[in-house]
């Protein structure tokens, strides 16, 4: 039997599900800290996080399956070890978070919440709507694509940015590359980032690029905090450049209590909750992706969503 180490605590029903595949002998750990040298000595598969020190002690290791979609931290993994991620497991939950953030800002909920604290009953001008808005998703994996589909179903005009132009969904009016997205960026009412961290994306949204956005646009980031130069974001937000900014990711995480992002007007922060894989809205979908790859391995087939380590996803 193939020996498999799980480096994260799973629900009991998930343990039972994995054990329906008799081809595998599992060692279930509550965390990566519980993995011993003895376990690693003959492990062929690790599901969950892994470190260079662990792989050095696992001569039989041939496949690492992540519970995360992001894989940019695994460029060090030896090439003979297959790396697959949980692509497709996060689109449903994270896209709803993104949609909720956009609608919250469009409908001025933060301003009304502040007004409620003062017991004020007063209409505030500036409410907008999704119908006929132009929405740009920078990142067209499962998350960004699902988000655009939600927006399209509410009447928005949808555009996407991906590394190369291919596989355009019917509900997307046009696709752009990182090099050409400034052709559409100034027209967009909503710009949503769901990119992995790569050398190409780190620091992409600096002051120069954000000033190409329409003044009064909404900016959302659920990908990696490094995509936005935070000092530049704070500067523009203080100028009133954005209708609102929703950040589910920052640099660093957790965000220090004295960081200026907390108190900058119209920046709204959630503590990386949209994509937590153990969250009920994501857990079953992620387990579904992992279980499908286990079945494929049992059948002698390669896993789906193998990571290209040269680009990080």
Mark whether 136 and 75 lie in a shared domain. Answer: no
Mark whether 69 and 137 lie in a shared domain. Answer: no
Mark whether 226 and 172 lie in a shared domain. Answer: yes
| Nearest-angstrom CA–CA distance, 118 and 111 | 11
* pLDDT on residue 249: 97
Residue 308 has pLDDT above 90, yes or no: no
Distance linking the first and last C-alpha atoms of the chain: 30
Is 40 in contact with 34 (CB distance < 8 Å)?
no
Asked whether residue 305 is assigned to any structural domain, the reply reads no
* pLDDT on residue 72: 82
What is the value of pTM for the model shown? 0.90
* pLDDT on residue 312: 73
Give 252: exposed, middle or buried? Use CB within 10 Å, 0-12, 13-18, 19+: exposed
* pLDDT on residue 275: 87
Q: For position 64, which CATH number holds?
A: 3.40.50.720
Mark whether 61 and 114 lie in a shared domain. Answer: no
Residue 311 has pLDDT above 80, yes or no: no
Closest by Cα among 224, 225, 222 to 190: 222
Mark whether 76 and 203 lie in a shared domain. Answer: no
Mark whether 223 and 98 lie in a shared domain. Answer: yes
Mark whether 99 and 246 lie in a shared domain. Answer: yes
The DSSP letter of residue 13 is: H
The number of domains in the chain is 2
* pLDDT on residue 310: 74
The DSSP letter of residue 228 is: B
* pLDDT on residue 146: 97
Mark whether 95 and 240 lie in a shared domain. Answer: yes
Asked whether residue 313 is assigned to any structural domain, the reply reads no
Asked whether residue 309 is assigned to any structural domain, the reply reads no
Mark whether 24 and 146 lie in a shared domain. Answer: no
* Residue with the larger pLDDT of the pair 159 and 309: 159
Asked whether residue 304 is assigned to any structural domain, the reply reads no
To the nearest whole number, what is the mean pLDDT of the chain?
A: 96
DSSP 241-306: -EEEEEES--SSSSPPTT-GGGGSTTEEE--S-TT-TTSHHHHHHHHHHHHHHHHHHHTT-PPSSB
Asked whether residue 58 is assigned to any structural domain, the reply reads yes
- In 56-156, the DSSP E strands lie at 63-65, 82-84, 134-138
Asked whether residue 311 is assigned to any structural domain, the reply reads no
- Among the ranges given (37-46, 71-80, 145-154, 197-206), the one the predictor scored with the smallest mean pLDDT: 71-80
Residue 313 has pLDDT above 80, yes or no: no
pLDDT digits (tens, 9 = 90+) for 134-185: 999 999 999 999 999 999 999 999 999 999 998 899 999 999 999 999 999 9
To which residue do tokens 């062929």 refer? Answer: 44
Owning domain of residue 27: 2-89+278-298
Mark whether 16 and 125 lie in a shared domain. Answer: no
Mark whether 130 and 190 lie in a shared domain. Answer: yes
Mark whether 164 and 262 lie in a shared domain. Answer: yes
């Amino acid at each position: 039997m193939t020996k498999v180490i799980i480096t994260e605590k799973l629900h009991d029903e998930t343990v039972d599900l994995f054990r329906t595949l008799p081809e595998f002998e599992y060692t279930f750990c509550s965390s990566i800290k519980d993995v011993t040298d003895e376990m690693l000595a003959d492990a062929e598969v690790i599901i969950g996080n892994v470190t260079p020190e662990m792989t050095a002690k696992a001569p039989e290791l041939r496949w690492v399956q992540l519970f995360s979609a992001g894989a940019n931290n695994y460029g060090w993994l030896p090439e003979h070890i297959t790396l697959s991620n949980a692509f497709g497991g996060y689109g449903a939950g994270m896209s709803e978070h993104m949609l909720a953030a956009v609608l919250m800002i469009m409908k001025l909920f933060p301003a009304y919440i502040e007004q409620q604290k003062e017991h004020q009953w007063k209409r505030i001008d500036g409410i907008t709507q999704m119908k006929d808005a132009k929405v740009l998703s920078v990142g067209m994996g499962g998350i960004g694509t699902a988000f655009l589909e939600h927006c399209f179903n509410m009447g928005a005009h949808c555009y996407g940015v991906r590394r190369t132009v291919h596989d355009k969904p019917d509900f997307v009016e046009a696709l752009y590359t990182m090099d050409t997205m400034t052709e559409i960026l100034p027209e967009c009412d909503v710009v949503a980032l769901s990119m992995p961290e790569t050398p190409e994306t780190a620091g992409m949204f600096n002051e120069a690029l954000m000033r190409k956005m329409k003044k009064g646009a909404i900016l959302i980031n659920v990908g990696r905090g490094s995509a936005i130069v935070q000092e530049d974001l704070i500067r523009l937000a203080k100028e009133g450049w954005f209708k609102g900014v929703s950040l589910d990711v920052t640099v660093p995480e957790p965000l220090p209590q004295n960081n200026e992002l907390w108190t900058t007007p119209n920046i709204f922060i959630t503590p990386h909750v949209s994509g937590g894989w153990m969250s009920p809205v994501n857990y079953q979908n992620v387990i579904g992706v992992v279980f499908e790859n286990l079945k494929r391995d049992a059948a002698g087939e390669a896993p789906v969503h193998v990571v290209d380590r040269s680009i990080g996803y």
